[in-house]
Amino acid sequence: MKDIATDELFTKEDATAAIILAKKKAGLKWEEIAAKIGMNPVWTHSACMGMNAFPQDKAEAIVALLSLPAEAVDALTESPTKIWEQAVPTDPCIYRFYEIVGVYGPTLKALIEEEFGNGIMSAIDFDMSVTRVPNPKGDRVKVEMSGKYLAYNAW
């Protein structure tokens, strides 16, 4: 049995750091990694960053693909604790998503409620894709999100 007092545990943060380093060394893109393990690139990146738990077979696949330590499998399959900074980020790309939600959040909520009723769009039963759309004025970023509708319950 492992002596927790003396052995260091391989954490989700350790797995993320190992993945980023291995990805960089291998010269792979997220789309390539996702294709090789049979997952969506958005979900793959999120799970690699510790925000989702890999199924056992996918954790084993990414560990093998990137030659990560075997201990990474356990860390990658653990349920995440989704804690992130609540301050507005300074990264320009991430800030723009905050801006979109700040400006259009109430509109999205109103349109969802008009179409579906009083409820929310799930971020758990959720799909997302990011694609390039050629445009003569400059290529555009297309972000598509699809989440299961969840009605509020009265109990």
> Is 144 part of the annotated catalytic residue set?
no
Of residues 13, 67, 96, 146, which has the active-site annotation?
A: 96
> Is 99 part of the annotated catalytic residue set?
yes
> Is 96 part of the annotated catalytic residue set?
yes
| Long-range contacts, 142-151 (Cβ 8 Å, 24+) | 145/121, 147/121, 147/122, 147/123, 148/121, 148/122, 148/124, 149/112, 149/116, 149/119, 149/120, 149/121, 149/122, 150/119, 150/120, 150/121, 150/122, 151/116, 151/117, 151/118, 151/119
Of residues 13, 67, 113, 122, which has the active-site annotation?
A: 122
Domains, the chain, in order of start with CATH, read 12-77 (1.10.260.40), 92-151 (3.30.1160.10)
Q: What pTM, to 2 d.p., does this model score?
A: 0.72
Mean pLDDT (the chain, rounded) = 89
pLDDT at 58 over 90: yes
Of residues 99, 129, 140, 146, which has the active-site annotation?
A: 99
% of the chain at pLDDT higher than 90? 65
Tens digit of each residue's pLDDT (9 = 90 or more) over 130-155:
999 999 999 999 999 999 999 998 77
- 106: pLDDT confidence band, cut at 50, 70 and 90? confident
| pLDDT at site 84 | 65
